[in-house]
């Protein structure tokens, strides 16, 4: 069961915790109607949270660590050109 959950929920538990906190925060500001009453503060908060989350994922992950479900590989139909302009 643990292997199944590990393959289903990729990433660190901190990333999933960030997702839960963000969802809870959006629910809270929706309930308080902050996006209507104080729109500028809402936009600044959303941008700050976004930058913080991206920084946590970028700087909290080791190089080469798998963070996505599928491997990121170049498309086979894509032609790669070297410096001389000739296809490899």
SS3 81: strand
In a domain, 80, yes or no: no
In a domain, 38, yes or no: yes
Residue 67 near residue 57 (C-beta atoms within 8 A): yes
**75 lies in a domain?**
no
Provide mean pLDDT across the span 34-61.
Answer: 86
In a domain, 36, yes or no: yes
38-50: per-residue pLDDT in tens?
889 888 888 888 8
Collapse the DSSP code of 86 into the 3-class scheme (helix H, G, I; strand E, B; otherwise coil) and give the result: coil
- Confidence class of residue 78 from pLDDT cuts 50, 70 and 90? low
Three-class secondary structure of residue 82 per DSSP: coil
67 assigned to some structural domain: no
Half-sphere exposure of residue 35: CA atoms within 13 angstroms, side-chain side:
9
Structural domain total, the chain:
1
Residue range of the domain that includes 49: 11-59
The mean pLDDT of 51-70, rounded to a whole number, is 78
């Amino acid at each position: 069961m643990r292997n199944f959950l590990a393959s289903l929920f990729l990433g660190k538990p901190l990333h999933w915790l960030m997702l839960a906190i963000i969802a809870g925060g959006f629910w809270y500001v929706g309930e308080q109607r902050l996006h209507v009453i104080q729109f500028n503060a809402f936009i600044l908060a959303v941008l700050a949270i976004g930058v913080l989350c991206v920084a946590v994922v970028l700087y909290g992950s080791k190089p080469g660590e798998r963070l996505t479900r599928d491997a990121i590989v170049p498309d086979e139909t894509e032609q790669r050109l070297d410096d001389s302009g000739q296809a490899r």
